Each structure stands twice: as C-alpha cells, then as structure tokens.
Amino acid sequence: MTLLWIAVFVLTAATLMLLLGPLLRRDAAHDATRADFDMAVYRDQLAEVDRDLERGLLDPEQAEAARVEVKRRILAATGERSSPQAMPQSPSPRPGRSFISLILVAVTVPAAALGLYLALGMPQKPDQPLATRQQPVQAAQSPSSETDGPPLTMEEAVAQLAKRLEAQPQNVQGWLLLGRSYVSMERYPDAVDAYSQALKLEPGRADIASAYGEAMVASMGGEVSYDASQAFEAAIAHNPMDPRARYYLALYSAQQGDGKSAMQGWVDLVAVSPPDSPWLRVVNQQIERAAEEFDVDPASIKPSAEAEALANAAAFPAPSQAEMDAAADMSDQEREEMIRSMVDRLAARLEQEPDDLAGWQRLARAYEVLGDTEKAKDARARVEALTDR
C-alpha cells in the first residue's frame, strides 16, 4: 500500500504542474491575428489537395484548380498580416482567481479519484498479467483445438483457401471467394486465374464473366484488352442488364478511338440503371469526358431501342430478395421464366388498374421483347383505347 500512496502523490504533483502554467499565465495565442490562423489552415488545405491527388480522389486538373484557389486566399491573408487586426481577446485571468482555482483542483481531484478507487477498485486483489487476461477471450474464440492460436492474417487465410481448392477444384464459390480476395489484395493476375477457374465450371454465369473481365482490366492497369471485351460480351449475352459489363464495353470503345460508340454504351447504361444506382455518377463523368475528347454533343446521343426495351422491362414490380438471390444460380431458361412471372404480375395489376396508361405501354413493350406478339397487340390496343379518351 505504501507504493500506492507514493504513486498517488507523484501523479497528483505531476497533474498540478501541468495545470499550473495554463491557469497562471496568459495564453500566447491571444495575441495571434486572424490571418495567422488562416495561413495555417491554408497550408493544411494545400497538403490535403496533394494527398487527394495521390489517392486518386482528384484528377490533375481539379487538383491544380484547388491549389490556385488556396494560393489566392494565402495572398489575401498575407495582405492582412501586413496590417494585422488582433483577434478579440478574452480578459486575462486574475492571479487571485487562478490561485483559488489551483487550490480547488489540488484538493478535489485527488480526493474524488481516491474516493472512486476505494469504492469501486480492488486494492487487495493482486495484479493479473495481460496474457492471463487474454486466455478466456482466446478460449471463447477457439472452441476447438483446430482453431487455437492467433487470428489468421489476410494473406494466411487466402493461402489456406487456395490450398483447399487444390483438393476441391469443383468448388465454384471457393474460386469466386478466392478471386475477390485477390482483388482486395491487388493481386490481379492471381484474381484472373481464380475467376477463370470459376468460369470454366459455370460458363453461363454473367456475374462471373464480368468479374473475370474486370480482373483482366485491373491486371492491365485499366486497359480493356480484346480478351476482356470478349468476357464482357459473354456477360451481356447472359444478362443484358449487367452494369459492369456495359460500362467496360463502352470504355473499350473509347480506348479504341470510337467515342460515339462509347457514349452510346454509357447512355444506354444510364437508361437501364435505376435512378439511385451508385455507378451513375462515374458513368455521367465518363460521358462528359468523352464528349469533350471526341467533340460529340451528349444531347445528340439517345438511348437505343434495346436499352429502352430493357428499361421498360425493368420497371415491373420488384422481385423479392429471395428471387434476386436465386437468380444468380439460375440457368437462362429459369431466368427467362422469372422475367415472365414479373411480366405476368404487371399484367395482373393492370387488370385491377385498367386506366394506367404508362403501365400498359410498359407491358406492350415487354411482350414485344419476349416475342409474345399476340399479347403485345392486345396491350397496344389498350394503350390506343386509353389514348383516344
């Protein structure tokens, strides 16, 4: 216990020494001008612009524009410093009041800390080393002897997964997980190999084909190669709504010098995407850049007939989460049956709401896309009847 009281005394004395200076002397910051503070902020802003440029959050043009604006403000602040106006100062604390505050802190802080320790602490209990305290936690995290030991690093976990797939090469989900892991580790050539294995096992899955193509693009430093474009074409063939495949196919056209085709692809992607899609901001930026680079008026590029048909087909009642989860594992025939069920639900709703002109128009276009000419004619007749009213 003697050591405890010595520690209390030393810590209390150190705390009082730290508090003494701010209580008894005037803060030098009161004499600083507003321009001095502004200059410090502007220097931080210049450093932040450089960091954003390195991280890719700003392109070189945006970074340079930001630097010019900050430097303009620095010049203005430099002018203010030449005729400084002191910031409003708060009255300096009076020595008497500071001394009283010091006495109150010196008495109340140690007393309150000691009271809390005696009430809540356990001074009679011996110390428990950190290793001993961690044992229950490790036991809770390791219910069996197979998982004993420290948690695996990302590299170790991925290495174990790759080794397990050598014995289970037919595990599609395993290859997909390995591919995603390699992408997160920026090991793009390895990701290409993993997605290639998954695509060999299930060549009809659009999500695997587009992920495979994206990994190839990443491994080429952002260049869409011919092989990658073929992977995206395969994805579109199985799922015309795949946004990743549509985006990179348009980028492939831009890199080949066909700006108009690139803009058409991105405009179609905007048309078939829900309004709240997270990728729309990037797509619209690409459209603006292509318009400037290839001197094409964006207003002259309209969504294609195929994109309009897909957009109208996508306007049906939203599928349930279970349907969305199951769609990834469906065959082409099963996926078409799911789409037809969505069309049937739209038709059933319109029987209850026969005056919905926009709904009948969407239904007619959907039947045309599906090739149901007779049902499309009936839907068109309902559209004409509502239009003639």
Task: Concatenate the DSSP letters of all residues of 7-25 into one string.
Answer: HHHHHHHHHHHHHHHHHHS
What sign for the dihedral angle of Cα 258, 260, 264, 269? positive
CB 188 within 8 A of CB 219: yes
Quick one: pLDDT at residue 81? Answer: 54
When the pLDDT of each residue in the chain is averaged and rounded to a whole number, the result is 76
Flag whether pLDDT at 18 surpasses 50. yes
CB 254 within 8 A of CB 327: no
Give 224-231 contacts, CB < 8 A, sequence gap 24+: 224/248, 224/249, 224/251, 224/252, 224/255, 228/252, 231/199
- Residues 6 or more apart from 23 whose CB is under 8 A from it? 93, 98, 101, 102
Distance between CA atoms of residues 342 and 323, nearest Å: 11
Distance between CA atoms of residues 232 and 213, nearest Å: 6
Quick one: pLDDT at residue 143? Answer: 42
Q: Which residue did the predictor score with more confidence, 144 or 72?
A: 72
Q: Write the pLDDT tens digit of every residue in 141-180.
A: 444 444 455 777 888 999 999 999 999 999 999 999 999 9
Percentage, residues of the chain above pLDDT 90: 32
Say which range, 54-58, 137-141, 222-226, has the weakest mean pLDDT.
Answer: 137-141
CB 110 within 8 A of CB 8: yes
Quick one: pLDDT at residue 162? Answer: 93
Quick one: pLDDT at residue 136? Answer: 39
Mapped onto helix, strand or coil, the DSSP state of residue 33 is strand
Mapped onto helix, strand or coil, the DSSP state of residue 170 is coil
Flag whether pLDDT at 222 surpasses 90. yes
What is the pLDDT averaged over residues 104-120?
64
Q: How far is CA 106 from CA 110, 112, 119, 277, in A?
A: 7, 11, 21, 60
Flag whether pLDDT at 324 surpasses 50. yes
SS3 labels along 46-67: HHHHHHHHHHCCCCHHHHHHHH
What is the pLDDT averaged over residues 89-95?
48
**How close are the terminal C-alpha atoms of the chain, in Å?**
96
Structure tokens at 167: 């014995």
What pTM does this model have? Answer: 0.48
What is the pLDDT averaged over residues 331-360?
77
- State the residue for tokens 């109150």: 104
**Residue closest to 275 by CA, chosen among 315, 305, 242, 302:** 315
